[in-house]
């Protein structure tokens, strides 16, 4: 009889920019000053949009809105690592990533305002956001598999929350990704809560990153509020996938500063103190500290960026509020490539009913 | 012209499409080296290799969900679910995603995916190996549901399904996989999705069925002296209402045979459409002969569950006597 250790595993954690705005230069990703400023401007735009969209919901100008406040670095750093030809599979909280991926902000509002046309992207390969939890993860794996079969150097990246890791779909995704060694990056945005259920109740595992180990793929845990760490991990995973080395699971440890949705009240299940603690560790504060210390940001520039972001968002709101309502026909027209006889008949009936 | 059974016809369709279109790939459990538990993919692995005939991990939701991603990104995956009773795990993916991708992206993306599964009872199989699942999928806008009952149609319909721009659930009648042999051309041809077939012309009564039940219905009706028009539905969704209505307008009487449970079985939908469009042509109430509203029984009781000659003729005589 033999009893011995046959494998040992390690889980890496990555932080480049700490809460005080200090970076570890050895770990700093390759980013020009121009790119760092671009990242900052995008982050402010994301936050500005998110805050504004929240108040639009409160004013009744859009329907339910899902805030991503607090998760800007997590979404920006990952989406920024992709090229336009790469695929992104967003979830309902991925509004920030969609902004980075050039999805017009007025279209995000259009969807939240009740018009499916808001999900249609042009040119760039963004998939419509997933509403069920975790089910989008294997789509990215299948999509990446297709890229591999077609010999394209294209990567698929997908977002899920830590709640989504409890779904079978998530495990199918990791398993199929590993077995077929597909060019895919799976990002778990661990924002500590699935509506009201805390992270500890989703899994007994110490990290979500370690779930990669069981499927024979790479996994890493990242400080999800650190833009440099997120970008570095994502860029390495994307490059690794593009070179044909296979998938990576990235766990971004972050925090949902807002409610689950505009229909939720997080005060019922978490304390103000906890939220305040995470506020201090937020992605924007530390980024600004870093930039100020490195002479990339002063009060004037900060004000300018805030003003520009506000103007951009206001402009997008105007576009949204001047959009025409969708054609009634649209609800049937895209069911199949061609309307079936049955649908054509029902469409005639519908037209008669609304006359 | 070669004689083929349904298994061979399915294989011929797959071979045709694998040869013709490099985007086509077959994926599922045991579909590769083993050639499928019913031998539908026998020999294809050697012919087309491991990148086109893929033995996947053993997970039906995994097969369907990754096939969705493959389809969205330009491939033409044909996913095999080993038995229709195992399809339930993939239901969420089919209903929430495959069926809605075109609509949710307002036409930017589509999901040209085929999910093949043997279905129905009568082979003395294990539990959950005999499920009739067609109505679940017929209820989902965005999916098409195709059910061949003959080898000729199996080949032509499967080729159509693979070329279809939308997701198709292709249910193969397991009980008659090898029970019918008929001429199937070697050359490529298609049978259109959404068109029913008049299996036999008649003037007294219309009998409608599909899948394995069609063969047993037809055999039962040979014992009847009435002039019976038999319709093979072939596509459950979208349903060819016109062929059904024309026939019922002619005969004024109708019996529908399906082996799925009675409540909300597909016969119910056919009856509703006849009521909407040909009620005043009816000479008698429509009868349906179906499975019962209970779990599909194990081998010793399955013959009591499945519609048989006695029940079919009883329904025919009842409709004709009114």
Mean pLDDT of chain A: 97
Cβ distance of A120 and B105 shorter than 8 Å: yes
CATH of domain B197-320: 3.40.50.920
Query: What is the ipTM score, two decimals?
Result: 0.96
Cα B25 from chain centroid (whole Å):
21
pLDDT tens sequence across B208-228: 999 999 999 999 999 999 999
**Residue A167 belongs to a domain with what CATH number?**
3.40.50.970
**Does A183 share its domain with A159?**
yes
- Suggest the residue from B18, B66, B193, B195 to mutate for an interface test with chain A (most A CBs closer than 10 A): B66
Domain span at residue A218?
Answer: 12-324
For residue A269, indicate whether it is catalytic: yes
Torsion sign (Cα): A215, A217, A221, A222: negative
List A256, A286, A290, A320, catalytic entry: A256
CATH 3.40.50.920 range(s) for chain B read 197-320
- CB contacts of B102 in chain A (<8 Å) are 334-337
Cβ distance of A335 and B102 shorter than 8 Å: yes
Closest C-alpha to A159, from A203, A121, A129: A129
A5 assigned to some structural domain: no
| Cα–Cα distance measured from residue B21 to residue A149, given in angstroms and rounded to the nearest whole number | 14
With a cut of 90, say whether residue A1 has pLDDT above it: no
A292 burial level (CB within 10 Å; 0-12, 13-18, 19+): middle
**Does A152 share its domain with A280?**
yes
**Does A113 share its domain with A218?**
yes
* Closest Cβ–Cβ partner in A130, A156, A176 for B62: A176
Closest residue, chain A, to B61 (C-alpha): A169
Mean pLDDT across B101-127:
96
For residue A260, indicate whether it is catalytic: yes
| Cα–Cα distance measured from residue A228 to residue A219, given in angstroms and rounded to the nearest whole number | 18
pLDDT tens sequence across A242-271: 999 999 999 999 999 999 999 999 999 999
Query: Are A83 and A124 in contact, with CB atoms under 8 Å apart?
Result: no
**pTM to 2 decimal places:** 0.97
| Cα–Cα distance measured from residue A232 to residue B47, given in angstroms and rounded to the nearest whole number | 44
Q: Which band of pLDDT confidence, cut at 50, 70 and 90, is reported for residue B149?
A: very high
Specify the pLDDT at position A8.
Answer: 95
Q: Which band of pLDDT confidence, cut at 50, 70 and 90, is reported for residue A68?
A: very high
**Does A348 share its domain with A315?**
no
Cβ distance of B97 and A150 shorter than 8 Å: no
* Closest Cβ–Cβ partner in B70, B141, B165 for A337: B165
Mean pLDDT across B173-186:
97
Nearest CA of chain A to the CA of B7: how many Å? 28
Restricting to A residues 202-231, those with a Cβ less than 8 Å away from any Cβ of B are: none
Closest residue, chain A, to B238 (C-alpha): A340
- CB contacts of B103 in chain A (<8 Å) are 116, 334-335
Specify the pLDDT at position B294.
Answer: 97
The angle, 0 to 180 degrees and rounded to 10, between the axes of the packed helices B6-20 and B151-163 is 30
DSSP letter, residue B80: E
B222 burial level (CB within 10 Å; 0-12, 13-18, 19+): exposed
A74 assigned to some structural domain: yes
- Suggest the residue from A98, A138, A345 to mutate for an interface test with chain B (most B CBs closer than 10 A): A138
Strands (E) across B109-263 are located at 114-119, 144-146, 168-173, 182-183, 197-200, 205-209, 228-232, 235-237, 254-261
Identify the CATH class of B3-183.
Answer: alpha beta
- Specify the 3-state DSSP secondary structure of A42: helix
- Suggest the residue from A98, A117, A141, A142 to mutate for an interface test with chain B (most B CBs closer than 10 A): A142
Tell whether A299 lies on the interface with B, counting CB pairs under 8 A.
no
pLDDT tens sequence across A75-121: 999 999 999 999 999 999 999 999 999 999 999 999 999 999 999 98
Cβ distance of B106 and A147 shorter than 8 Å: no
Q: Which band of pLDDT confidence, cut at 50, 70 and 90, is reported for residue A355?
A: confident
Alpha helices in chain B (DSSP H): 6-20, 44-48, 60-72, 91-92, 101-104, 134-138, 151-163, 212-221, 241-251, 266-278, 299-305, 309-320
Tell whether A347 lies on the interface with B, counting CB pairs under 8 A.
no
Closest C-alpha to A76, from A232, A275, A286: A232
Closest residue, chain A, to B241 (C-alpha): A342
The terminus-to-terminus CA distance of chain A in angstroms comes to 82
Strand partners, A219: A249
- CB contacts of B194 in chain A (<8 Å) are 340-341
- CB contacts of B107 in chain A (<8 Å) are 120, 334
Mean pLDDT across A272-299:
97
Q: Chain B residues contacting A, CB < 8 Å?
A: 25, 51, 56-57, 59, 61-62, 65-75, 77, 89, 92-93, 96-97, 101-110, 141-142, 144, 165-166, 194, 238-239, 241-242
Longest CA span, chain A: 82
Nearest CA of chain A to the CA of B307: how many Å? 29
- CB contacts of B25 in chain A (<8 Å) are 149
**Does A320 share its domain with A336?**
no
Cβ distance of A334 and B102 shorter than 8 Å: yes
Restricting to A residues 268-297, those with a Cβ less than 8 Å away from any Cβ of B are: none
CB pairs under 8 A between A and B: 134
Closest C-alpha to A48, from A313, A288, A279, A260: A313
Closest residue, chain B, to A184 (C-alpha): B69
**Does A224 share its domain with A355?**
no
The domain tally of chain A equals 2
| Cα–Cα distance measured from residue B56 to residue B81, given in angstroms and rounded to the nearest whole number | 11
- Suggest the residue from B24, B29, B67, B69 to mutate for an interface test with chain A (most A CBs closer than 10 A): B69
A6 assigned to some structural domain: no
């Amino acid at each position: 009889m033999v009893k011995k250790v046959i494998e040992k595993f390690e889980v890496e954690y990555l932080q480049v920019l700490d809460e005080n705005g200090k970076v570890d230069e050895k770990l700093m990703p390759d980013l020009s000053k121009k790119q760092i400023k671009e990242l900052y401007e995008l982050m402010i735009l994301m936050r500005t949009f998110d805050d504004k969209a929240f108040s639009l919901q409160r004013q009744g100008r859009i329907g339910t809105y899902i805030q991503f406040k607090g998760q800007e670095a997590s979404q920006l750093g990952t989406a920024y690592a992709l090229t336009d030809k790469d695929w992104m599979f967003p979830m309902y909280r991925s509004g920030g990533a969609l902004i980075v991926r050039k999805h017009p902000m007025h279209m995000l509002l259009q969807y939240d305002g009740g018009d499916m046309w808001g999900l249609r992207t042009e040119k760039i390969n963004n998939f419509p956001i997933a509403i069920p939890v975790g089910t989008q993860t294997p789509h990215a794996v299948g999509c990446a598999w297709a890229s591999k079969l077609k010999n394209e150097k294209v990567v698929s990246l997908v977002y899920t929350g830590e709640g989504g890791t409890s779904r079978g779909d998530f495990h199918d995704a990791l398993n199929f990704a590993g077995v077929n060694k597909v060019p895919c990056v799976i990002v778990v945005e661990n924002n500590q809560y699935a509506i009201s259920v805390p992270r500890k109740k989703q899994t007994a595992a110490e990290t979500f990153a370690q779930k990669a180990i069981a499927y024979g793929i790479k996994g890493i845990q990242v400080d999800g509020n650190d833009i440099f760490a997120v970008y570095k991990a994502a860029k390495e995973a994307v490059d690794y996938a593009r070179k044909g080395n296979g998938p990576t699971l990235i766990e971004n440890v972050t925090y949902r500063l807002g409610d689950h949705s505009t229909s939720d009240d997080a005060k019922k299940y978490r304390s103000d103190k906890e939220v305040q603690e995470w506020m201090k560790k937020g992605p924007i504060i530390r980024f600004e500290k870093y930039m100020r210390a490195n002479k990339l940001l002063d009060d004037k520039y900060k004000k300018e960026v805030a003003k520009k972001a506000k103007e951009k968002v206001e402009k997008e709101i105007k576009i949204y509020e001047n959009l025409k309502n969708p054609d009634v026909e649209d609800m049937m027209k895209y069911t199949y490539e061609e309307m079936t006889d049955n649908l054509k008949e029902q469409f005639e009936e519908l037209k008669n009913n609304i006359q | 012209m070669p004689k083929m059974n349904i298994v061979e016809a399915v294989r011929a369709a797959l071979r045709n499409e694998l040869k013709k279109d490099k985007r086509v790939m077959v994926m599922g459990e045991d579909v590769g080296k083993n050639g499928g538990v019913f031998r539908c993919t026998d020999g294809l692995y050697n012919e087309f290799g491991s990148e086109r005939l893929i033995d996947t991990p053993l997970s039906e939701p995994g097969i369907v969900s990754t096939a969705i991603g493959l389809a969205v990104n330009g491939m033409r995956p044909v996913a095999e679910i080993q038995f229709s009773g195992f399809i339930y795990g993939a239901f969420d993916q089919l209903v929430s995603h495959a069926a809605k991708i075109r609509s949710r992206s307002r036409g930017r993306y589509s999901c040209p995916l085929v999910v093949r599964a043997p279905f129905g009872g009568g082979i003395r199989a294990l539990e959950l190996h005999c499920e009739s699942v067609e109505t679940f999928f017929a209820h989902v806008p965005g999916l098409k549901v195709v059910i061949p009952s003959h080898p000729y149609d199996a080949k032509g319909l499967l080729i159509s399904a693979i070329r279809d721009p939308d997701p198709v659930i292709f249910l193969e009648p397991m009980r008659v996989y090898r029970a019918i042999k008929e001429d199937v051309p070697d050359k490529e041809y298609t049978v259109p999705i959404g068109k029913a077939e008049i299996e036999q012309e008649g003037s007294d009564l219309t009998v409608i069925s599909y899948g394995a039940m069609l063969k047993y219905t037809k055999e039962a009706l040979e014992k009847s002296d009435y002039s019976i028009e038999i319709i093979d539905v072939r596509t459950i969704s979208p349903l060819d209402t016109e062929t059904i209505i024309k026939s019922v307008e002619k005969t004024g009487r109708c019996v529908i045979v399906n082996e799925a449970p009675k409540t909300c079985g597909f016969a119910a939908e056919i009856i509703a459409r006849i009521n909407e469009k040909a009620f005043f042509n009816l000479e008698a109430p429509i009868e349906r002969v179906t499975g019962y509203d209970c779990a599909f029984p194990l081998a010793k009781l399955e013959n009591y569950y499945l519609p048989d000659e006695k029940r079919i003729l009883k329904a025919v005589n009842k409709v004709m006597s009114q």
